[in-house]
Structure formats: structure tokens, C-alpha cells
């Protein structure tokens, strides 16, 4: 199922970060022929901040945001999602995502 969203030239998460490359292959029959993939971005709210993402599910979002393997809780539209369900949890345009990272200290 293709991602819902819009095609845009904006880079996610600021000017200095590049979008995730989905398909960057070279045409084997014609020298110099490249196949480019359009990036489909959708806008969601992460911790109340509007953010453009290319992820289609929660697992991809965790990878896109470089979240740690442990000590992270995520809720979509005020519903906590267990890590075991992240790969099966789609993200829709306009979703409200809350990410909580555990911190040590006092």
C-alpha cells in the first residue's frame, strides 16, 4: 500500500539532513541512466511540533529519527503502542505522535 501524503521538495528535519533514499539504482543497459524515486512526505505532529516524514509505519519512524533500541515509549493519537507492534502500526497524515525517552539523573 503506498504511503499517504504529498510530494514535496522540502527536506525533513531541517535544511542539513537528507531524505531517506528508497531506490537509487543505475539502469544496467544504458550508461549513465539513473532511476530516481520520488519521496512522499507526510506531515505529522511529533511532540506538538509539525514534522515532515517519509515513514509509513512506526518502526520506520523510529529508524528515521534514530531512536534508541531501549528506553523509548511512543503514543499515536494518545494511544500507547508496544514496541512489538511498531512495524504493524501505520502512520497517517496529521497524526499526533508523542515520543518519550527515559533519562537517568536526579
pLDDT in tens, the chain (106 residues): 444 444 444 444 444 444 444 444 445 555 555 555 666 889 999 999 999 999 999 999 999 999 999 999 999 999 999 999 999 999 999 999 999 999 887 6
How would you classify the pairing of strands 40-46 and 96-101? parallel
Quote the pLDDT of residue 7: 42
In a domain, 74, yes or no: yes
- Tell me if 10 sits within 8 A of 52, measured CB to CB: yes
Quote the pLDDT of residue 28: 53
In a domain, 52, yes or no: yes
- For the CA atoms of 43, 51, 14, 60, the dihedral, rounded to the nearest 10 degrees, stands at -90
Number of Cβ atoms within 10 Å of the Cβ of 72:
15
- Owner of C-alpha cell 509539525: 50
Query: What is the span of the domain harbouring residue 58?
Result: 6-101
Q: Which three cell numbers stand for residue 50?
A: 509539525
Q: What is the DSSP letter of 60?
A: H
In a domain, 1, yes or no: no
Number of domains in the chain: 1
In a domain, 58, yes or no: yes
In a domain, 106, yes or no: no
Quote the pLDDT of residue 10: 43
Q: Which three cell numbers stand for residue 68?
A: 534508541
Amino acid at each position: 500500500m503506498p504511503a499517504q501524503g504529498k510530494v514535496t521538495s522540502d527536506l525533513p528535519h531541517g535544511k542539513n539532513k537528507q531524505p531517506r533514499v528508497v531506490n537509487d539504482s543505475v539502469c544496467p543497459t544504458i550508461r549513465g541512466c539513473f532511476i530516481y524515486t520520488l519521496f512522499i512526505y507526510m506531515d505529522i505532529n511529533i511532540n506538538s511540533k509539525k514534522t515532515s516524514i517519509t515513514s509509513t509505519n512506526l518502526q520506520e519512524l523510529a529508524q528515521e529519527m534514530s531512536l534508541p533500541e531501549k528506553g523509548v515509549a511512543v503514543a499515536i493519537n494518545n494511544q500507547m503502542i508496544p514496541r512489538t507492534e511498531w512495524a504493524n502500526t501505520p502512520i497517517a497524515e496529521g497524526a499526533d505522535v508523542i515520543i518519550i525517552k527515559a533519562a537517568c539523573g536526579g
